[in-house]
Each structure stands twice: as C-alpha cells, then as structure tokens.
C-alpha cells in the first residue's frame, strides 16, 4: 500500500482536526479554517467538505491546506504528529514510544467521546420528557393544583437545555468537568432523571 493510502487508512480528517485543536460537534460539523466561518459549516469524517466555501478532500489535503505544505510533507507531518505506522521503505520512522502514546491518547479520547455521547443521549431523552410533561400536565384551570411533573418541567427545562448546549458546544475542559461531576449530578437529580441516568451507566 502506498504511503498516502497508509496515512489515510490510519487517520480520519476528523481525528486530525481534533488533534490540531478544532472543536468538532457531535454531528461532525466544525468551523471551516479555510474561510471566515461564523457557524460550523464544515463536515468532517474520513474526509471533509465545507458547505460554505466548497473546499473538500481527504485528510492529507486538509493538513496540506491547514499548514500550507505540499501533500507529501503534510503526510509526513501526520505520521509524526499522530504517531502512525508506515511500513514502506524510505518513509519517516516513528519511535515506538511516540506511537504507543499517541494510540493511548486516541483511545482515551474515543472513550471520553463515547461517555459524552451517552450523557448527551440521556439528557436529550429527559428534555423530550420535560416538554411532554409541560403539555400533558399543564393545569386546565387556574384553581387546579399543579401536577408535580408539570412543576418539574417548569423548573428543569431551561437548565437541561443549557446542559445540552454545554455538552454540544462547550470546550473539552468544560465537558470534562461536567462528566467528572456526573456522579454528583445523579445524586441531586429528580427521581425520574436519576432513573434515566442510572439506566445507562
Ligand atoms: Zn469553508
């Protein structure tokens, strides 16, 4: 397999973008570095495409454009930065230690993303429930006692929406903090949310 193919097989554009500090949303969208992008209009997965400036290509092209490098140099940079294994002759060697470290970092990042996905899913479900309760249990007359689920919906909706935004757009530091205090959040949640949260752990 050729040098470029080996690089592309081992690292997706999304992984590279995240490695170089870009924040990629759950839907794979990020702000395009190649035009003045206010809202995320670039989709990154294996390859990338920008719906704003139409720029597109594979991970090598992405890095090549990002650092203003010829494609070969971009591929070399990727093997070094991401600790990739390249088997062909005359290719840059990578020290095993560096490779192992990069692999471990990638695994940790994937595990972290999976846990964020799970937490996000639960909060989405809970948010849908709250909206449902706000409709279903709304008092029909001014004298009617407020249903506890309606009260919960009124109290929690805005907060949960804020948490969802935080998980989706927060910096990784904020999201990490959120996930680290997850146990506390479970302890102080309403019985219903607690049940939702515990069911996914
Ligand atoms: Zn663009």
**Residues 26-61: tens digit of each pLDDT:** 899 999 999 999 899 999 999 999 988 988 999 999
Q: What is the distance between the alpha carbons of residues 10 and 51, in angstroms, rounded to a whole number?
A: 25
Give the Å distance between the CA of 67 and the centre of ligand 1.
Answer: 15
Q: Residue 92: what pLDDT? A: 52
Identify the domain boundary among 94, 125, 142: 94
- In a domain? residue 101: no
100 in a domain, yes or no? no
Q: What is the CATH number of the domain that holds 71?
A: 3.90.580.10
Name the packing angle between helices 3-10 and 71-81 (round to 10°).
40
Provide the residue range defining the domain that includes 155. 106-200
Say which residues have a Cβ less than 8 Å from residue 29's Cβ, sequence separation at least 6: 40, 41, 42, 43, 44
Tell me how far the alpha carbon of residue 11 lies from the centroid of ligand 1, in angstroms: 21
Please check whether residues 111 and 195 belong to one and the same domain.
Answer: yes
CA of 171 to the centre of ligand 1 (A): 22
Residue 108 alpha carbon to ligand 1 centre in Å = 29
Residue 69 and residue 40 share a domain: yes
Q: Is 99 inside a domain boundary? A: no
Name every residue whose Cβ is closer than 8 Å to that of residue 4 and which is 6 or more positions away in sequence. 60, 71, 75
Kindly give the distance from the C-alpha atom of residue 188 to the centroid of ligand 1, in angstroms, as a whole number.
43
For 125-172, the pLDDT digits (tens) are 888 888 888 889 999 888 888 898 898 888 888 888 877 777 776 667
Domain total for the chain?
A: 2
Same domain, yes or no: 113 and 89: no
- Which residue do the tokens 């991401």 mark? 82
């Amino acid at each position: 397999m050729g040098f470029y193919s080996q690089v592309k097989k081992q690292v997706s554009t999304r992984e590279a973008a995240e490695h170089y500090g870009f924040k990629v949303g759950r839907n794979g969208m990020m702000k395009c570095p190649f035009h003045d992008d206010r809202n995320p209009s670039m989709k990154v997965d294996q390859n990338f495409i920008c719906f704003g400036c139409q720029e597109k290509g594979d991970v090598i092209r992405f890095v090549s454009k990002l650092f203003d490098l010829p494609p070969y140099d971009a591929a070399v940079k990727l093997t070094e930065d991401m600790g990739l294994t390249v088997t062909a002759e005359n290719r840059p060697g990578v020290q095993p230690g560096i490779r192992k470290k990069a692999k471990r970092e990638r695994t940790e990042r994937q595990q972290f993303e999976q846990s964020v996905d799970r937490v996000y899913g639960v909060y989405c479900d809970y948010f849908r429930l709250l909206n449902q309760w706000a409709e279903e249990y709304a008092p029909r007359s001014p004298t009617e006692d407020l249903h506890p689920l309606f009260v919960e919906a009124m109290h929690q909706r805005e907060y949960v929406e804020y948490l969802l935004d935080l998980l989706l757009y927060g910096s990784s530091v904020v999201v990490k903090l959120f996930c680290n205090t997850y146990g506390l959040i479970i302890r102080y949640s309403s019985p219903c949310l607690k049940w939702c949260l515990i069911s996914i752990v």
